[in-house]
Amino acid sequence: MDLDALIADTREMVECESPSADLEAVARSAEVVARVGRRRLGVEPVRIVLDGRTHLRWRLGTGPSRVLLVGHHDTVWATGSLATRPCTVEGGVLRGPGCFDMKAGLAMAFQAAAGLDGVTVLVTGDEELGSPSSRAMIEDEARIASAALVLEGAGPGGALKSARKGVSLYDVVVRGRAAHAGLEPERGINATLELAHQALAVAALGDPLTGTTVTPTAARAGATTNTIPAEGSFAVDVRVRTLAEQDRVDLAIRSLGPVLPGARTLVTGGPNRPPMEAESSAQLLDRVRAIAERLGLPPVPAMAVGGASDGNFTAGVGTPTLDGLGAVGGGAHADDEHVLVDELPGRTRLVRSLITELLAVPTAECDTAGAGRR
């Protein structure tokens, strides 16, 4: 693997800022990513614009697509972040907004897939928003692949991500009745109090034994300090390890009713990403560990994480999926975001060897491995 090229390609992509909500910035970034990918893969990508967001897809070779590489080029960093967080390489550490999550992973994907037949590289532009426009495309690509490899950044110590929690997102809206807080508060129906009842009921749906978290987050109620609030709302973030838990919480939240007489409640939202359960990655994890041993690379740890990725979607349609194959580093979404430069070549070599081995597996065997597809 060409370390100088990995660094240069990562820097080129990092230095084109791509905050998810800025459609023009994402479009500019897509052109830079297309240029880098074309340089390494030798072919032009297909540009797919959905709801104004630019995604890229390369199909490599003439054979059917067998292995799907998944990544994204959008970031959480606002335009102008480079002014205070420039892309630098010092002391074996590459820094810059979006370097770990996940532009170094894109540079790795391009080198790992170069020259291979039967690989699709899919780079989306809205992952940080929950992939609202790209989800169906990701799922469609996963359904025709025998395996999906996600080049998101690794966990601590280079750990692969063998399981991810599923995510559900809700808004709970409460409607009461306004009244003067001093003159006739008894005529009001206090939306703030109803909101408090609902938030406590929602939080009680969490289950530490199963790893389910149900967290009320951003809330608002009322407009003035001397008025009984007539309306309020709060958001809910749900993380689950299994589909059964996701379904349980969904039913429970939708079944909540008002506590105060005369109050009304409305719940919107629902499951955003299905869980990526451990069994979806088990065979791929065994394979990559054997490859690492054969290549003389350090043992590869694995972990389950609470954060979600597009790997949740590929696993959700039943495609064997392994995540966290990207750069080793840390600080995603934080000021200390970084990539360990010396880890890039070995990690990229590991990914390429895994792809090559998967391409060599007979199609019938791959179909058996993915036989549990939904």
Which pLDDT value is given to residue 63?
78
pLDDT digits (tens, 9 = 90+) for 274-322: 999 999 999 999 999 999 999 999 999 999 998 889 999 999 999 999 9
Contacts of 247 (CB under 8 A, 6+ apart): none
Across 240-263, average pLDDT: 96
Class of domain 166-273: alpha beta
Q: Mean pLDDT for the chain?
A: 94
Which pLDDT value is given to residue 361?
81
Which residues belong to CATH 3.30.70.360 in the chain?
A: 166-273
- According to CATH, the superfamily of the domain at 3-164+276-369 is Zn peptidases (3.40.630.10)
Which pLDDT value is given to residue 371?
45
Is residue 367 over pLDDT 70? no
- Does the CA dihedral 215-220-221-224 come out positive or negative? positive
Which pLDDT value is given to residue 245?
96
Q: Label the pairing between strands 227-228 and 93-95.
A: unpaired
Q: Tell me the percentage of the chain whose pLDDT exceeds 70.
A: 97
pLDDT digits (tens, 9 = 90+) for 132-188: 999 999 999 999 999 999 999 999 999 999 999 999 999 999 999 999 999 999 999
Q: How many Å is the maximal CA-CA distance in the chain?
A: 79
Phi, psi of 246 (to 5 degrees): -60, -40
More confident residue, 105 or 366: 105
Which residues belong to CATH 3.40.630.10 in the chain?
A: 3-164+276-369
Which pLDDT value is given to residue 107?
98
Across 10-26, average pLDDT: 97
Is residue 364 over pLDDT 90? no
Which pLDDT value is given to residue 363?
64
Q: CA angle 79-82-85, nearest 5°? A: 130
Is residue 72 over pLDDT 80? yes
Which pLDDT value is given to residue 204?
98
* Dihedral in degrees, nearest 10, Cα atoms 173, 177, 178, 183: -140
Supply 157's token pair: 């110590």
Is residue 366 over pLDDT 80? no
Which pLDDT value is given to residue 64?
86
Is residue 237 over pLDDT 70? yes
Cut 0.75: pTM above it = yes
